[in-house]
């Protein structure tokens, strides 16, 4: 058995020395960079990750041509914090307002913060954000959708934005392009509230007979396109999106961005609405998976990735484009609508073998698919190294030669050799976060979950959150399903990992924002 004192001995000390790979990296080439965040896609949802009840040929091809990570983690088990961590290189739990953002939230990334987009922009990259955003828009006090919406993505390093402001189950159900609601009629201004009904549009609560997709939990405010959402809105009728067309719309915007920057290095940050609820496939995918709409939107997601790949091929730039595909958090089955996701699973296992799911500190909350393809440089293979999305920032900064100013990306490390599959060295540790900000730390084979008086189950989905009054310890090498808590047997390891977590917590001053 490994002695606690040896746990970190061979590795650089936390937060002091960046780097978790040994091989020297030659002078930085300048690939195009595409980062695609799927929403709520589970570690077991893709055929290249072992799914047998669904086939994802485009993503499988991506994986076959690149590095397929098997131990990669989102920082958090929900969307807003994971996206915050990815773009800022700072653990989201260091800042107060990084919980699941409502659709009228202010921009939660301080415009003074140096983001991943800033880093690449500073190196001459054309930068674009397309699709799900969920980091808020506008000033403190919330978003005014009827004027130019600032600050937004263009104030934190992006040249271009085409955004779903929050999630597809939250109002307002409109796109924002470069600060303006697309298709808004000024004579029909938008009002949004997350505290009370506004206007007289029907709600799921008052008019359930008008609903075409019934909620199973919550989701009973304003009805848009027959789907009751979270939050109330009125106005902006001409600007409302059509759910069936969202994938086509954002894919077209993404491929247009790629094509228009074909001759310069570009960075595209794309968030798909798939496979988040409400799961509304275009008719060409509806019924095609045999697993209900959750399966159908996985096919739709696979199509999106295929379109991006096809665009790169047709422009002749696939070879020198680094494409990263991953998910913001793990899978959830029933996330609030009666879409029969559970009944129609047909043996499909979105969480793979893992415990928990979206919201949870257990593995299925943050262990996600993660694929890196860059034909000019990355050799195909499997990447078993322990890896966190928090390191994407500094790894890409290192790749492009971008300087990271003092104080920026405080939790991110340069793990470029791992990202590129040139080293299989584990990160010294990976920190996970659940819905109520309880943390876990993985180091080597061990995973420690800090004690928490938070709820045992997520209120709606009944997902085990991983909260318990006593510390938990699992040996992931023999017990990846976290069934056997061995904390009592290994007090030394519990102590070592809990002090490591305390050290990580204290290494950077948390903000009061």
User: Contact positions toward Ca ion, by CB under 5 A?
Assistant: 39-40, 79, 328-329
Considering the rule CB under 6 A, would residue 335 count as an interface residue with ligand NG6? Answer: yes
Ramachandran category for residue 40: left, alpha or beta (phi over 0 → left; psi -120 to 50 → alpha): left
Considering the rule CB under 6 A, would residue 18 count as an interface residue with ligand NG6? Answer: no
Considering the rule CB under 6 A, would residue 217 count as an interface residue with ligand NG6? Answer: yes
Q: How far is the CB of 93 from Ca ion (least distance, A)?
A: 17
| Residue 100 binds: one of ligand NG6, Ca ion, none (C-beta under 5 to 8 A by kind) | ligand NG6
Q: Kindly tell me which of 219 and 413 has the beta carbon lying closer to ligand NG6.
A: 219
Q: Which stretch binds ligand NG6 (CB under 6 A): 214-222, 315-323, 383-391, 420-428?
A: 214-222
> How many Å apart are CA 251 and CA 31, to the nearest integer?
21
Residue from 218, 306, 375, 410 binding ligand NG6 (CB under 6 A):
218
Residue with tokens 């928490």: 452
**Strand, coil or helix: 491:** helix
Backbone angles phi, psi at 412, to 5 degrees: -85, 145
Q: Kindly tell me which of 366 and 443 has the beta carbon lying closer to ligand NG6.
A: 366
Residue from 55, 106, 460, 486 binding ligand NG6 (CB under 6 A):
460
Q: Kindly tell me which of 13 and 195 has the beta carbon lying closer to ligand NG6.
A: 195
* Element at 342 (helix H, strand E): none
Residue from 32, 56, 78, 193 binding ligand NG6 (CB under 6 A):
78
Considering the rule CB under 6 A, would residue 277 count as an interface residue with ligand NG6? Answer: yes
Q: What is the number of other CB atoms lying within 10 angstroms of the CB of residue 195?
A: 8
> How many Å apart are CA 412 and CA 394, to the nearest integer?
6
Q: How far is the CB of 137 from ligand NG6 (least distance, A)?
A: 15
Q: Kindly tell me which of 118 and 458 has the beta carbon lying closer to ligand NG6.
A: 458
- Cβ–Cβ < 8 Å for 285, 297: yes
Considering the rule CB under 6 A, would residue 40 count as an interface residue with ligand NG6? Answer: yes
Q: Please, what's the b/e burial string for 21-45 (b: 16 or more CB within 10 A of its CB; e: otherwise)?
A: beeebeeeeebbbbbbbbbbbbbbb
Considering the rule CB under 6 A, would residue 274 count as an interface residue with ligand NG6? Answer: no
Backbone angles phi, psi at 271, to 5 degrees: -115, 120
Residue 345, both tokens? 């699973």
Residue 402, both tokens? 């971008």
- Cβ–Cβ < 8 Å for 357, 388: no
Segments of 110-242 assigned E as strands = 126-132, 160-164, 176-177, 180-181, 191-193, 223-224, 227-228, 232-234
Burial of 2 (0-12, 13-18, 19+ CB in 10 A): middle
Q: How far is the CB of 459 from ligand NG6 (least distance, A)?
A: 8
Q: Which stretch binds ligand NG6 (CB under 6 A): 211-219, 319-327, 410-418, 491-499?
A: 211-219
Residue from 94, 154, 219, 413 binding ligand NG6 (CB under 6 A):
219
- Cβ–Cβ < 8 Å for 495, 487: no
Residue from 56, 71, 75, 79 binding ligand NG6 (CB under 6 A):
79
Q: How far is the CB of 80 from ligand NG6 (least distance, A)?
A: 6
Q: Kindly tell me which of 167 and 255 has the beta carbon lying closer to ligand NG6.
A: 167
Residue from 65, 98, 104, 167 binding ligand NG6 (CB under 6 A):
167
Q: Kindly tell me which of 100 and 344 has the beta carbon lying closer to ligand NG6.
A: 100
Q: How far is the CB of 191 from ligand NG6 (least distance, A)?
A: 21
Distances (CA, A) of 277 to 91, 168, 173, 225, 350: 26, 7, 13, 14, 15
Considering the rule CB under 6 A, would residue 171 count as an interface residue with ligand NG6? Answer: no
- Give me the residues that bind ligand NG6 (CB under 6 A), please: 39-40, 78-79, 100, 134, 167, 169, 217-219, 230, 276-277, 329, 335-336, 460
């Amino acid at each position: 058995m490994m002695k606690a004192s040896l746990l970190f001995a061979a590795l650089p000390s936390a937060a002091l020395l960046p780097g978790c790979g040994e091989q020297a990296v030659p002078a930085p080439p300048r690939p195009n960079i595409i980062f695609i965040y799927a929403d709520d896609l589970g570690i077991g949802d893709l055929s290249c990750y072992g799914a047998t009840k669904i086939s994802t040929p485009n993503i499988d091809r991506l994986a076959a041509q690149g590095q397929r990570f098997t131990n990669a983690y989102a920082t958090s088990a929900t969307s807003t914090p994971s996206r915050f961590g990815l773009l800022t290189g700072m653990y989201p739990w260091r800042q107060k307002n990084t919980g699941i953002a409502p659709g009228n939230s202010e921009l939660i990334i301080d415009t003074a913060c140096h983001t991943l987009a800033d880093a690449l922009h500073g190196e001459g990259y054309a930068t674009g954000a397309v699709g799900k955003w969920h980091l808020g828009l506008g000033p403190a006090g919330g978003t005014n959708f009827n004027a130019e919406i600032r600050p937004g993505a263009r104030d934190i390093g992006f040249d271009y934005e085409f955004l779903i402001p929050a999630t597809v189950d939250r109002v307002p159900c409109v796109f924002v392009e470069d600060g303006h609601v697309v298709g808004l009629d000024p004579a029909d201004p938008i009002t949004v509230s997350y505290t009370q009904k506004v206007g007289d549009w029907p709600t799921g609560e008052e008019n359930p007979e008008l609903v075409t997709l019934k909620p199973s939990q919550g989701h009973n405010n304003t009805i848009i396109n027959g789907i009751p959402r979270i939050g109330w809105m009125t106005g902006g009728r001409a600007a409302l999106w059509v759910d069936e067309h969202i994938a086509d719309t954002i894919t077209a915007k993404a491929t247009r961005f790629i094509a228009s920057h074909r001759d310069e290095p570009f960075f595209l940050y794309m968030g798909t609405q798939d496979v988040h609820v409400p799961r509304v496939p275009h008719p060409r995918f509806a019924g095609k998976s045999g697993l209900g709409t959750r399966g159908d939107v996985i096919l739709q997601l696979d199509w999106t990735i295929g379109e991006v790949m096809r665009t790169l091929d047709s422009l002749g730039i696939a070879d020198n484009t680094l494409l990263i595909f991953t998910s913001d958090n793990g899978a959830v089955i029933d996330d609030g609508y009666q879409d029969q996701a559970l009944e129609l699973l047909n043996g499909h296992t979105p969480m793979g073998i893992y415990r928990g799911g979206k919201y949870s500190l257990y593995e299925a909350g943050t262990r996600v698919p993660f694929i890196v393809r860059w034909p000019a440089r990355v050799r195909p293979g499997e990447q078993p190294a322990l890896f966190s999305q928090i390191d994407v920032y500094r790894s890409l900064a290192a790749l492009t030669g971008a300087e990271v100013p003092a104080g920026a990306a405080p939790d991110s490390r340069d793990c470029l050799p791992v990202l590129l599959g040139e080293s299989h060295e584990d990160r010294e540790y990976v920190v996970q976060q659940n819905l109520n900000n309880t943390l876990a730390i993985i180091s080597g084979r061990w995973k420690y979950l800090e004690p928490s008086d938070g709820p045992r189950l997520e209120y709606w989905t009944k997902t085990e959150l991983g909260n318990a009054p006593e510390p938990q310890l699992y040996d992931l090498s023999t017990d990846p399903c976290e069934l056997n808590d061995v904390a009592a047997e290994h007090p030394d390891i519990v102590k070592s990992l809990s002090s490591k977590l305390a050290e990580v917590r204290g290494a950077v001053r948390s903000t009061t924002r």
